[in-house]
Amino acid sequence: MVFWLIAAALAALIPAALWRAAQRVRPEEAPGTASDLALYKSQLGEVDRDLARGTIGAGEADALRLEIKRRILALDRQGVAVADNKAGGLALPLALTALAIAGAAGLYLRLGVPTYPDLPHAARIAKAEALKAARPTQEAAEAEAAKARPPAPAPDPQYASLMDQLRAAVAQRPGDVQGLRLLAENERKLGNLPAAARAEEQLVAALGAKATSADFAALADALVLSAGGTVTAEAEAAVVASLGADPANGTARFYAGLVEAQTGRPDRAFPLWRDLLADSPAEAPWVPFIEANIEGLAAAAGVDYQPVRKTAPAFDPGQAEMIAGMVDGLEARLKAEGGSAEEWAQLMRALGVLKETDRGRAAWALAQAALAGDPEGLAMVRAEAEAAGVAE
């Protein structure tokens, strides 16, 4: 309502100001008009007096009256012209003003929301803070997400047996950092997201002061995934810890922007994602999501922004087909019969080239179990798994 009152007042003020300016000098008060008319009337009287005194003849008096009356008529015509010019000069500004007001009103009715209530900046901030405070707990968010999540597919029997052994080993040694890392990674691969989140929580607790930015970022990631994409207060705390250890951590920067976007602060989320997108390589996992959402986020923040799309490096299709055939055979044989450390390393390298991250993680888990008694071979495979981005 306040907006409409101000708009109406401004719309009325403009034509009123134009009308007032036009009325400051009236047509009959044009410069020189009144004084000239009085002079001509005085001259007519003087002609009559001269005629009565006999100083001029009747013919001369008639000629003088005619000339004086001609001048009076000319003066009248000048007054009419002034009035016409003023009327015409006022009509155009008034017409343009009316057109501008009508155009602005039509544009607002088309693009705006006339029925939307006033929402001052302070009120928006307060609403966002209330929204953040009302977020569900991690436990509640996980329970809600579990209802909509489809059941995970049954794992390979051999893989399932290895996982049972891993769970039992971790239960016996809850402070085993390496075991907890393996458990968190493989629970996620199996789709057991809440179990993966619990393993990440145990891992960070076991590490204590040795927990790195990557450890906190992995915890935040697991919590968000388990909560169905909601950044809960628990996940946000992990994000803050990760950024405190390393402000450049990409995963933490992504979730820092996501929590602001989810709680009504696009003004904060947009610069976080804009800078992250600029700093990230094309293959970063958050790049597609940011590119798909940042323009809408920028619009909500009141920023005119057009992102520069990133393109993943091109890969030769023929080479990919050849490698894929080799990898399928090698992967099947290693799963069924096992193999040497060199073969497991070769599989890690090939899956990295193909960017088969999920398969690479699964293969890395199997390799660790198969090469548990070969520390040197396991170290070689780990190097390839880290290069492929499937091991921390």
CA angle in degrees (0–180, nearest 5) for 371-187-344: 25
Residue spans of the domains in the chain: they are 2-111, 133-264, 317-387
Q: What is the pLDDT of residues 194-253, one digit of tens each?
A: 999 999 999 999 999 999 999 999 999 999 999 888 899 999 999 999 999 999 999 999
Amino acid 208: pLDDT: 95
User: How far is Cα 70 from Cα 62, in angstroms, rounded to an integer?
Assistant: 12
Amino acid 154: pLDDT: 86
Alpha helices in the chain (DSSP H): 2-22, 33-53, 58-111, 121-133, 138-148, 157-172, 177-189, 193-207, 213-226, 233-245, 250-262, 266-279, 287-300, 317-337, 341-354, 357-370, 375-387
Closest CA to 127 of 10, 267, 304, 290: 267
Tokens of 315: 């890969």
Q: 380: alpha, beta or left, given left = phi > 0 and alpha = psi -120 to 50?
A: alpha
Q: Determine phi and psi for 227, rounding to 5 degrees.
A: -90, 15
Amino acid 333: pLDDT: 66
Amino acid 88: pLDDT: 52
In whole numbers, what is the pLDDT of the chain averaged over residues? 79
Amino acid 317: pLDDT: 47
Residue 307 contacts residue 291 (beta carbons within 8 Å): yes
Q: What is the pLDDT of residues 306-347, one digit of tens each?
A: 877 765 544 444 444 444 555 665 677 677 767 677 667 767
Amino acid 318: pLDDT: 42
Q: What is the pLDDT of residues 70-79, one digit of tens each?
A: 877 776 666 6
Q: Assign 230 to helix, strand or coil.
A: coil
Amino acid 131: pLDDT: 79
CATH architecture of 133-264: Alpha Horseshoe (1.25)
Handedness of CA 313, 316, 317, 321 (dihedral sign): negative
- Residues of the chain with confidence (pLDDT) below 70: 1-4, 11-12, 14-35, 37, 75-94, 109-121, 310-330, 333, 337, 339, 342-343, 346, 349-350, 353, 392
